[in-house]
Structure 1
């Protein structure tokens, strides 16, 4: 038996406890002294409770009892502690470490290894048992308390007296403030009750007087409610109204400065007959509350958000003003994660482009850091991005760098809106409608300048599209499909989308309610990067062709431009519009792209040059006709059952021997490279595009292939099909959410002055918008206090 760690033992060896000294007595159950307890005191007190014995307390229950004795020492020393649960875990861990020593056999207790373990345990027991948080120095403001804590961490020389006078004064003042606040709250509630009773008596007397003087008739049918008399409302405004999360979040969303928020609150209270002296409504209070509450809201969002099981990663970057100098610009990266139903903005970090590091590597590092901070890196199975060279290059692009950082390949989803923009720009450029190389289209600039000379209301003199006698059946069928699609798609996310649909129906002279009363809107942004401008203003030029011809030659269009504008408008309305209206659904992407290719092949008989330009652009962006994305078409309602059956059969025929398939084959370089696009022919079907990579896409989305061997009509009732259909929703095929994040950052970057403050503002504004998307509506969800 080794001697006691406290020195030579004077008692019998039978009364010693290995590694702890004298045996445990009932006196060890009480911790005494004028210092913070050591590990030995806590361990002996814990063992005195006899945890784990038959019919005795469990270790965690005994630790709670020990905590009740330790807590007064920390309170008296004015030193904060970690949570009660954490304290109990640390005490239980100390007991377990001691039990391991006691389990060492008698034969091994004299070895050198055991001596080192015992020496390490003795040191741990002799020093102060640390129950304070890691950043305890930042939480203590009293120098004497800091000095006492430093002594407890080192030599344990300091002691605390019977009474801390300064601490006692602070506690007394705090209790007085709490009592005053409670009295003020009680007084306000009493005044509110008196005002409510008085107002009810007045309303009853008013009603009685009205009944005596006149006869009350029921309101007439259809009488508007806003004309009814409003009596007002009695409310209680708390003194800390500027610190309430809902108020702070709304004020931040409305871009109200702390001074404006405080001034508006004081004016509202004063106009309502209240006393502003009862409120904390100064600029300093509003500014301090703004920063603290926004940080709290951001932390709550970080804790409460749960990532979907399978989700898509979005990102986009843009130059924004710097926080410290608005005249200088810096790059900011917007990172969004989610599925088809839920999207979450993770952050908008700033970065600088460097010569020794590729831009894609920087984007990947920042993106993966945010994914790890939000604990959602394992749930990402797909990437949605703009099809730029910095994202889709073969060497150091962002898509490849992100996959390398995550250590696994992901699905590639080029933004459908960006693909449509590339296709439209290709046709517009090859038509040579605009020869100028300026940032703006001069044709559209002249239209804006001469706008007041043209009719802007509904008119029968518009130059609508009139089919000729020799028109091919293709255009008639395409026209009917667009009209049918426009009637189905009625929920447009943006006003210019709705305007585009209206102009298409007016140009085609469709018998639809969408164009019964159309007013042309004045041209706005004309930059060449604004791809919607090419759609809207080209259709307006085509519709106003007769009126423009009455103006002097060259005022808006030239003779060479008129036929090109009309040809471009026919292509937009017959080919492009339907594809663009249905491009946001992931399951329909493959069928829509293949149908668009077939329509373009047939459109060569109408305009060979435009069809060739569009086909050339489409063949460079066959993202959804690759084997990886092809299984999505199995869940589309647009794909005929025969094509689904053929596609399912082709996928099963290409089933690889080793499943699951973790690495795709049809990619450039390694499995992290860009997918190889298939070669399309006029007779190509979805089944012809199937290959082994279909199984990689099914593995990524957890698609169960059991339903593929059944009849297509039985799929809707099959459990495997239903579960797989839910997983397919993880795929987003448009990157609009990242662009909205960029816009959100641009709008609120001037509100903050520090980086963390800006991130808190963005999280609070995003959360407030989710609570009430439209401020014009009266209903609003409240943010938890």
Structure 2
């Protein structure tokens, strides 16, 4: 076997090897080199970290302490592993040009000797994390072992240099031309990386047509609107995205939406952009309904749900009950059919989170249907009020196990009211929320649905309507233009909307409107259109020429279809920012206490996870 090139150098970077890990068996293969009675002292073995198959982040630390050698022209990595109660030393062989699974060989440590594994697959343990990382390890070796710097400090410096180079190259390469971007952010209080205080972290991300890019997770001096606006603006400036940012997506907290000093207001003065996160708006509405039904809680958890979670292991999972006939009669047979059909269709669509699927499955079972994958109940998960979907999921589970789980009469009535609201109103609008094209029509529909819900439960309808009426961003004079690209809006309505563009609008355009509840049932989309609606096209950088053409020709107009495709890619939910928060929480205390290196690390990990979204073999071999 020939020796590797002598003029190449090692580039070692394990930050790319950070997918979720799970133990798998690797196929037995022959070694590319041979070892005869290689002795490794107990002292050296003690310095090697145990190879952890549970934690992906531990891989980086493990490999940083691994030992390296040249054996018959192959680059060798030695790491210690524990399989059950047995300790193993894994020897990984790399040739110069091949980093394939077949080039790996596992040897086990017995009586201070490395011997070839004779027992087949059962004792050969790798992790998918390791295999995913192999193509990303920029390893090239020198002819002699003496030319290696294998101490942990040298490896650490090489990793830091590589992170910086990788992140800076990523910034330079990110140039989404002619794609309107939506900027997302979401704050989170976390322990500082130095461990001395708690700081406010702000993940900032950009999304668009086939774009999902983490920009930064800066540390804020305070959680005020001014600090948030400054951090977002500075990040956009660093990435040269000021001219490309066409929208903003954020949670509707006071620090973001304050009329004078909110981050949205301050950024809008510089960028002239909006809107708010639709999922957060609906979450606020459901929170109000939960408080009305179950009453206030003294802590962050809902006590009824805490009791249910503790009782779950002892419940008979076969003892569930679907909705009673009086409940189904209140909902209405027609509405039951519509909700069942909608939930079944949504299950056929990709859902980004397991709790989305769980809610749809529970709704189907609540209404007496059977999901395609059969009847199955997941154990109750997070209880915190801030967790999306948890309230609706818990309410339906508690109701369906009302025969197994002891409740007071008052609690049973409250849970029944909450379930009826979730099934009748909430589930449809939650799963329609991500589409910005449908936002104006769906918001108007929700207003009318809540007015109609008065007949079923006046108290719940009033509190939900009051809360939602304070967040009518997408019926504002500017954002109502999304409805031009909604194929479910009748041509007649779109024609009236075009005609309404001549109506005089308010000089100070409101980001969100107020509406008299007495006129909701008579309102139509054209009632919200004015001259201000034309600002939508200047803000997004899209051509308004289509407004001069006949509405009936739009669906066959290439320019209209092009703009419709761009508008469809705009994200108006802040789930992407939540994933940024989760990433920062995961790596907040790992690998580095240097703020600059932390930013490089997060960008590197995020990019790697886009390339390898899962740990399947098919993904590895792409």
Which TM bucket (shorter chain)? 0.7 to 0.9
Q: Confirm or deny: 8 A CA contact 2:477 2:532 kept in the other structure.
A: yes
Equivalent residue of 1:545, what SS?
coil
Structure 1 residue 426: deviation in Å? 0.8
Equivalent of 2:268 in 387, 403, 415: 403
- Structure 1 gaps, min length 5: 1-179, 186-225, 237-250, 549-555, 657-663, 669-673
Q: Equivalents in 1 of 2:199, 2:327: separation in Å? A: 58
Residue 415 of structure 2: aligned partner: 565
| Alignment: residue pair count | 515
Residue 734 of structure 1: aligned partner: 573
Q: Equivalents in 2 of 1:230, 1:361: separation in Å? A: 59
Q: Equivalents in 2 of 1:401, 1:604: separation in Å? A: 39
Q: Confirm or deny: 8 A CA contact 1:423 1:618 kept in the other structure.
A: yes
Q: Confirm or deny: 8 A CA contact 1:666 1:693 kept in the other structure.
A: no
Q: Confirm or deny: 8 A CA contact 1:771 1:781 kept in the other structure.
A: no
Compared CA separation, residues 487 and 444, structure 1 to 2 (3 A): same
Q: Equivalents in 2 of 1:679, 1:382: separation in Å? A: 28
Residue 237 of structure 2: aligned partner: 372
Give the strand-richer structure, 1 or 2. 2
Counterpart check, 1:314 vs 2:184 = yes
Counterpart check, 1:608 vs 2:467 = no
State the Cα deviation string for residues 252-285 of structure 1 (Å, max 9, x = none).
Answer: 9734344444428324237657999486544234
Equivalent of 2:514 in 653, 677, 684: 677
Q: Confirm or deny: 8 A CA contact 1:478 1:575 kept in the other structure.
A: no
Structure 1 residue 729: deviation in Å? 4.0
Equivalent residue of 2:316, what SS?
coil
Equivalent residue of 1:455, what SS?
coil
Residue 382 of structure 2: aligned partner: 525
Compared CA separation, residues 687 and 259, structure 1 to 2 (3 A): same
Equivalent residue of 2:202, what SS?
strand
Higher relative contact order (CA 8 A, sep 6+): 2
Counterpart check, 1:665 vs 2:536 = no
Q: Equivalents in 2 of 1:777, 1:371: separation in Å? A: 37
Equivalent residue of 2:275, what SS?
strand
Structure 1 residue 758: deviation in Å? 0.2
State the Cα deviation string for residues 191-242 of structure 1 (Å, max 9, x = none).
Answer: xxxxxxxxxxxxxxxxxxxxxxxxxxxxxxxxxxx99986557599xxxxxx
Compared CA separation, residues 678 and 380, structure 1 to 2 (3 A): farther
- Structure 2 gaps, min length 5: 9-23, 35-53, 68-76, 80-90, 94-104, 108-113, 115-142
Q: Confirm or deny: 8 A CA contact 2:209 2:566 kept in the other structure.
A: no
Residue 588 of structure 2: aligned partner: 749
Residue 210 of structure 1: aligned partner: none
Residue 295 of structure 1: aligned partner: 164
Equivalent of 1:422 in 284, 299, 305: 284
Structure 1 residue 441: deviation in Å? 1.0
TM-score, normalised by the number of residues in structure 1: 0.61
Q: Confirm or deny: 8 A CA contact 1:584 1:734 kept in the other structure.
A: yes
Residue 471 of structure 2: aligned partner: 621
Equivalent residue of 1:682, what SS?
helix
Structure 1 residue 462: deviation in Å? 2.5
Q: Equivalents in 2 of 1:235, 1:599: separation in Å? A: 72
Structure 1 residue 492: deviation in Å? 1.1
Counterpart check, 1:599 vs 2:460 = no
Compared CA separation, residues 725 and 272, structure 1 to 2 (3 A): same
State the Cα deviation string for residues 657-692 of structure 1 (Å, max 9, x = none).
Answer: xxxxxxx73535xxxxx4433445111111122122
Equivalent residue of 1:557, what SS?
coil
State the Cα deviation string for residues 700-733 of structure 1 (Å, max 9, x = none).
Answer: 1244344345554421211331232234246321
Residue 389 of structure 1: aligned partner: 254
Q: Equivalents in 2 of 1:511, 1:435: separation in Å? A: 34
Counterpart check, 1:347 vs 2:219 = no
Q: Confirm or deny: 8 A CA contact 1:314 1:335 kept in the other structure.
A: yes
Equivalent of 1:359 in 198, 215, 224: 224
Larger Cα-atom Rg: 1
State the Cα deviation string for residues 438-464 of structure 1 (Å, max 9, x = none).
Answer: 2211101111222223122xx3x5321
Structure 1 residue 501: deviation in Å? 0.8
Residue 447 of structure 1: aligned partner: 308
Compared CA separation, residues 286 and 465, structure 1 to 2 (3 A): same
Residue 505 of structure 1: aligned partner: 364
TM-score, normalised by the number of residues in structure 2: 0.76
Equivalent of 1:766 in 606, 615, 619: 606
Q: Confirm or deny: 8 A CA contact 1:745 1:762 kept in the other structure.
A: yes
For residues 144-223 of structure 1, the aligned pairs below 5 Å read 182=5
Structure 1 residue 590: deviation in Å? 1.0
Residue 536 of structure 2: aligned partner: 697
Q: Confirm or deny: 8 A CA contact 2:477 2:509 kept in the other structure.
A: no
Residue 686 of structure 1: aligned partner: 525
Q: Confirm or deny: 8 A CA contact 1:424 1:614 kept in the other structure.
A: yes
Q: Equivalents in 2 of 1:230, 1:257: separation in Å? A: 25
Structure 1 residue 184: deviation in Å? 9.2
Q: Confirm or deny: 8 A CA contact 2:612 2:619 kept in the other structure.
A: yes
